[in-house]
Chain A
Amino acid sequence: MKEFLEGSRAVAEAVKLCKPGVISAYPITPQTHIVEELASMVADGQLKSQFINVESEHSAASVVLGGVAAGVRSYTASSSQGLLLMGEVIFNIAGMRLPLVLTCANRAVSAPINIWNDQQDSISLRDAGWIQLYAENIQEAADFHFIGYRLSEDKSIMLPVMVCMDGFILTHGMETVDIPEQEKVDKFLPAYKPLYKLDPAEPLSMGLLADPEYYQETRYAIQETFKDVLKMLPKVSKEFNVVFSRDYKDLLVEEYLTKDAEKVIVAMGSVCGTIKEAVDEQRKKGKKVGLLKIISYRPFPYNRVYEALKNAKKIAILDKSVSLGAYAPIAVELKAAFSGKKKVPVISSFVAGLGGRDITLDSIREIFRKLNQKEVTLEFIDLKPELLREEYGE
């Protein structure tokens, strides 16, 4: 049923339809509305969940770890500082191969403290072994939760999923969203059947010590499983389309007018909506431009990205995060995708929107213009030079 909803509410409705048995979260802007909505649903009896108010994000993640280890589908959400605080638990959950869905309301990372959107928080945990899906709009944000559980709990995958949605932009923005009926969700997402769980009827030990004789293979196993995830995402997308009549193609990328494009911008998240508008504008002027939207950041779809961009002449990557002291996170993956290939386009890397700085149509037009110039190794867009003249010391 189509409703005009705040993004957080849409996500809460989606989570409610997934029927998690244990929900635990700690408040942090801009995730708060999601969790408040869920608390409300539990209080009204709409959602029969154990709602555990914890004393920190580290404990929130630990509670849901315990919940899913005991065989019950669980859910949590966080952002920025909270996500980083639960950092070691994040690694723990993936390492223990426990299925889970976590909503990351993308927010900039302290210091300086900043509550507005960029993607630094989830990007900083890219090595943890979580599947990371980035939503462009609220419909995607909601849908990726059904997809997340379906993927995560698959016995051949058993890896946790982080659904990333830009804080404020998507969490507090409002869009018309289709919230499906429970029967449809039940058809797509069956009840969680644990591969292993804590149960006195069948005792087992989880979280053992692995010395050098055993550790490496567990990491290799996750790396190999990510290859399976690349194959499974398109399958799950097809199943999703059959039930919900929404086609996410291969759930790896979205090609927006890239087939004959000479210039393509590569980006992730809500900024893709703005870029699509800019692309339409340029196309009206007869310019052959396009957008490649990355949906699955982990596993990164190197082959798919190469196939989509191999005929482009100039590529601009727009990162909403940095890897300080090195190239930008998505730019690095793009360069890797073209490594060793015969024909390599001009690949320019741009960083924008940090700390919630607005990325406007003008910013995107500027990027298209810059693509006419030399290849850019790494450039920050929309910097304020007057701020850079402040000096300390003396």
Chain B
Amino acid sequence: MHSNLVLVIVVGTALAFDFTNGFHDTANAVATSISTRAMPPRIAVTIAAVLNFVGAFLSLAVAATIAKGIVAASMITPEIVFAGLIGAIFWNLLTWYFGLPSSSSHALIGGVVGSTLAAVGTRGVLGAGLIEKVIVPALVAPVLAFAVAGLAILVCYRMVGQRAPGSVNRGFRAGQIVTGSLFSLSHGTNDAQKTMGIIFLALVANGNLAPTDDIPTWVVLSAASAIALGTYVGGWRIIRTMGTRIIKMDPAQGFASQASGAAVILSASHVGFPLSTTHVISGAIMGAGAAKRVSAVRWGVAGNIVVAWVLTLPAAAAVGALTFGVTRIFGDGPAGPRVVSIVLVLLLGVALGRRLMQGRTLTVGA
């Protein structure tokens, strides 16, 4: 068994990642509802937080994929998991700062793959799992969501396009409460599990669990709580990008985007594809916009988002590998993770303090 101190640091870092995951991905669940005024912002994030918490308990298929399908669990140490998490948190915070809706899932997977490569080389990475469970869903998810939402909104406009806009908009705003809730639930089933998978991987690496064991209840509960709290805090920069900068959305488009996104995520979660909810909802929003009029989509903003998607895996992997290298400077004991986590907490504290001194909070109300 490795050091319990390292395990505690890893679990704490994993929950910190989970918080940033919720914080970063709040936009996925609420941006369309807020921008079409289906729900007031604070109510939207509260509902999203509660349903993310509930969703985390509903399925564990994706957690199993993360824990057992991407890297060789037998070669993983808690230090590798720690370095991977730092890579993921770094990328999440960087993309949040620029208001870019990138994938927290890919940041996590990229970070862990990068630190694994740095630690044990290519034999630690399950290439087939990476292709099947990450690369293919990453290509399929946004295109599928784009197509489903585009088709859905075309059918929808055909059915209600001749009706009075006032009653149609009111109707779809009400409908968005259902689809937004379903999307939040599906986000919880998909994203909270990734942290569960990572904590499980650390517990196996530390010798506390066998790879064949079930995920402990305390892991499910703590991951669900962290993602719900992060969701409640809300990443308003990304909410603005997703809700107003990709397309100017009407309530029917908001409904179609959320319904299509939830359908894609739930069907993928069911078969254990850890796809990115960010890719799905962004693709769906673009699809709903382009189906109405191709020029309705601000392709410059969409292009920036796609660039961030492409960079997520390699950038998080690079930071994960670098972090692992830094922790190794202090030997293979708990000193490395301890030093890195203390330095990062101090840096975050300084950044937060500077923002507060400027009289602004990290999140800006919509």
> Do these two chains interact?
no
Residues of A within 8 A of B (CB): none
Residues of B within 8 A of A (CB): none
